[in-house]
């Protein structure tokens, strides 16, 4: 995650990389290792974009990888990594909820990850 990246841009890049790797190397084990440049708050901890991105990687995208390594946690997938293509990520931002806006997707929408940013 570059210093200039925000949450949405980072997720978009991760999805693009995942799609490219799946296309070039189908069925091969995939390991995601995240390095973060900057993205610190005034207390020295991770800022909101970095925390949210690490959460999305570990909660929503981890099943498409054999391992996910982010600064906060290292996850090894106990089962086989998923091989189905991801059609997208639906993210509901906190501000959208306060304004009463919702993003609704039918339960049968294939391969769309639903992530709610805390």
> How does pLDDT run across 50-90, given as a tens digit for each residue?
998 888 888 888 899 999 999 988 989 888 999 998 766 65
Is the CB of residue 31 less than 8 Å from the CB of residue 18? no
Residue 76 lies in a domain: yes
Residue 1 lies in a domain: no
What pLDDT shows up at residue 83?
93
Residue 92 lies in a domain: yes
Residue 85 lies in a domain: yes
The number of distinct structural domains making up the chain is 1
Separation between Cα atoms, residue 42 and residue 111, nearest integer Å: 38
* Residue 28 structure tokens: 């091969």
Residue 14 lies in a domain: yes
Does the pLDDT value for residue 105 go beyond 80? no
> How does pLDDT run across 5-46, given as a tens digit for each residue?
888 888 888 888 899 999 999 999 999 999 998 999 899 898
Residue 90 lies in a domain: yes
* Residue 11 structure tokens: 């997720």
Separation between Cα atoms, residue 39 and residue 3, nearest integer Å: 6
Residue 70 lies in a domain: yes
Domain that holds residue 60: 7-116
Residue 67 lies in a domain: yes
Q: Indicate the pLDDT class of residue 104, thresholds 50, 70 and 90.
A: very low
């Amino acid at each position: 995650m570059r210093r200039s990246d925000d949450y949405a841009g980072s997720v978009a890049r991760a999805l693009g990389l995942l799609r490219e790797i799946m296309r070039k190397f189908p069925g091969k084990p995939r390991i995601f290792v995240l390095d973060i440049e900057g993205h610190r708050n005034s207390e020295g901890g991770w800022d909101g974009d970095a925390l949210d991105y690490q959460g999305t990687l570990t909660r929503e995208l981890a099943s498409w990888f054999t391992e996910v390594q982010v600064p906060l946690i290292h996850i090894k997938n106990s089962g086989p990594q998923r091989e189905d293509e991801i059609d997208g990520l639906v993210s509901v931002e906190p501000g959208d909820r306060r304004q009463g806006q919702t993003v609704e997707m039918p339960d049968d929408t294939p391969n769309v990850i639903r992530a709610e940013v805390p």
